[in-house]
Amino acid sequence: MDATDQVAVAPGAGQARRPGLSRGGPAAPLLPARARKPAAIVAVCCLVLVLAMGIPAAHHDHGYAIDRSVDSWIAGLHVPAQVLSALSWPGGGIEMVALTAALALACLMARRVSGAALAVLGVLVAAALTEDVLKPLVHRTIAGDLTYPSGHTTGMFALATAIAVVVLGSRRGWPRPALRVAVVLAAVIVACAVGFAVIGLHYHYFSDTVGGAAVGTGAVLGVAFVLDAGPIRRLPGRLGR
């Protein structure tokens, strides 16, 4: 059998090694090697920020000096309540479910199973930490309602972080780098707009939104590290990244 015949015996052998065509190996990590250390640093900073903002706020019904400064500045802009309500809309409960489902579906259509898992689990973990752990524990209030951290801001930054991990971590040629950055930047701007709106509506103090951003970002990065663990990463290997 000559060299030509040997090539003919296994016509797709070379293709099986190309990225994205393997069916039995583990999925590619959500966080590439170059991103793991920065992501870990950001996650730790988020934890520190949540504690630094939350501990002094425990069992209080007022904001810090920085809260009074930022909150007064936002109030002084005199943004109509209808505009603020519209800006806060994406962070609502039903809206967050719909946006998270849309991201997860997009990931599944692109065969990014781990990305879909990150979207769903990341947002759920962030919401549980905010609503079931931190709000009752810190017990900071406005007009009797628990405020720390902001649930709207938590959800939106969790979603924005999931989008960033999925989009920036993609090894495929599409979308182009400039478009990837634009998508992530748009998600962050929307999340910041939600935080701005809930302050303007007097639902939260500025530090509530900072704490929410930290919880959402840190929770999603933590989930990404868990999903990148060897045994878990092998689960979606036959379906896609």
State the virtual CA torsion across 232, 233, 238, 241 in degrees, nearest 10.
140
Q: Look at residue 168 in the predicted model and tell me its pLDDT.
A: 85
Q: Look at residue 158 in the predicted model and tell me its pLDDT.
A: 98
Q: Residues 199, 63: contact at Cβ < 8 Å?
A: no
Q: Which residues of the chain have pLDDT under 50?
A: 1-23, 238-240
Q: Look at residue 76 in the predicted model and tell me its pLDDT.
A: 95
Q: Look at residue 85 in the predicted model and tell me its pLDDT.
A: 97
| Sign of the CA dihedral with 86 first, then 88, 92, and 96 last | positive
Q: Look at residue 169 in the predicted model and tell me its pLDDT.
A: 77
Q: Look at residue 4 in the predicted model and tell me its pLDDT.
A: 45
The domain limits of the chain are 28-57+79-238
Q: Residues 123, 155: contact at Cβ < 8 Å?
A: yes
Alpha helices, DSSP H, located in 29-90: 33-57, 65-76, 81-88
User: What is the distance between the alpha carbons of residues 71 and 69, in angstroms, rounded to a whole number?
Assistant: 6
DSSP 3-state of 145: strand
Q: Look at residue 111 in the predicted model and tell me its pLDDT.
A: 86
CA-based nearest residue to 193, from 213, 218, 163, 220: 213
Q: Look at residue 12 in the predicted model and tell me its pLDDT.
A: 45
Q: Look at residue 11 in the predicted model and tell me its pLDDT.
A: 46
Q: Look at residue 39 in the predicted model and tell me its pLDDT.
A: 96
